[in-house]
Structure 1
Amino acid sequence: MLTGLVRVGTIYIPVKKVEVAAKWYKEKIGAVVSYIDSDKAIINFANLSFFLVKSKDESANFVDSNGIERFSITFEVDGLNALHNLHSDFKNNDIQVGDIEDRGHAGKNFVFADIDGNKFDVWSELSAKFKETFGENWRDKQ
């Protein structure tokens, strides 16, 4: 019997300079750096571990069938106010951010990029499963 996948444990992000990228994530996003060497760093934020892996000229982005460069990860925040506040914080912290968008589904989104051009999405709708699992006091459990 298959038990199924339970959660995402680690996400790998290609970066050009590991130390520079780790510092950027720590200072700009508030990540905690738990390990670093010349080839990789392990950082933690958004209830996940991320490996920043030294690579050549690659990014985590991909081009869709319409030729549009896309992100591969969407982060969630708890509501429109949180989305607007984070968008403002990112802009004030000199993070490359796109406009807040209405994409025709619940909530709104914006895209931001890290120092290496890796794009990420932020959505204003915290998933029901997350709230169900961690309860309304999820902030206290971080």
Structure 2
Amino acid sequence: MSEKLLRIGTIYIPVINVELSSEWYVNELGAELSYQDEDKAILNFANQSLFLVKSKENQSSNFYDVYGVEQFSITFEVDGLNALETIHKDFSDKGIRVGDIENRGHSGRNFIFFDLEGNKFDVWSELSPIFREKYLTSP
């Protein structure tokens, strides 16, 4: 097979209240709303399309690893430690539930945050070199 998967086009996030959650993503994270109805919202965010899908209560994108630790399913990247610290402070100042900035034993630093529905996300200070090369211009 000579063809290959090229990119992740859409990520689906379970939410109970589509309208409230889409407002949160737009106002708190800077997402752009491109469509919304009572069952879903489509957001353009961090070079991805996110679908917020109306779900039953007690659903989330989180899962538990073999040690019983709740894990996130998405890691967002930022450009360096200063950007990570700035975003961490901004999220904290906005009242977004965030964890501490951590050293996890690999390059860069990380912190976790949660949306209104308890979906857990990660932020990493190391921007992919391929993304930087293809999509960011030099200052």
| TM bucket, shorter chain | over 0.9
Corresponding residue for residue 75 of structure 2: 74
Aligned pairs for 1:33-112 within 5 A:
33-56=33-56, 57-112=58-113
Q: What CA deviation, in whole Å up to 9, does each residue of 1:67-102 have, x standing for no partner?
A: 000000000000000000000000011100000000
**SS of the residue 1:11 aligns to:** strand
Paired letter, 1:54 = K
Aligned pairs for 1:1-20 within 5 A:
1-20=1-20
Structure 1: runs of 5 or more not aligned: none
Structure 2: runs of 5 or more not aligned: none
Structure 2 distance, partners of 1:136, 1:20, is 35
Structure 2 residue 29 is the aligned partner of structure 1 residue 29: yes
Structure 2 distance, partners of 1:132, 1:29, is 24
Structure 2 distance, partners of 1:82, 1:130, is 16
Paired letter, 2:43 = I
Structure 2 distance, partners of 1:89, 1:30, is 12
Structure 1 distance, partners of 2:93, 2:4, is 41
What is the total number of aligned residue pairs between the two structures? Answer: 138
**SS of the residue 1:97 aligns to:** coil
TM score, norm. by length of structure 1: 0.94
- What displacement does 1:109 show? 0.1
Structure 1 distance, partners of 2:14, 2:34, is 17
TM score, norm. by length of structure 2: 0.96
Structure 2 distance, partners of 1:4, 1:42, is 26
Aligned pairs for 1:109-120 within 5 A:
109-120=110-121
Structure 1 distance, partners of 2:136, 2:102, is 28
**SS of the residue 2:66 aligns to:** coil
**SS of the residue 1:82 aligns to:** helix
Structure 1 distance, partners of 2:67, 2:59, is 20
Alignment root-mean-square deviation, CA: 1.2
Question: Post-superposition, which runs of at least 4 consecutive aligned residues in structure 1 deviate over 6 A?
Answer: none
**SS of the residue 1:115 aligns to:** coil
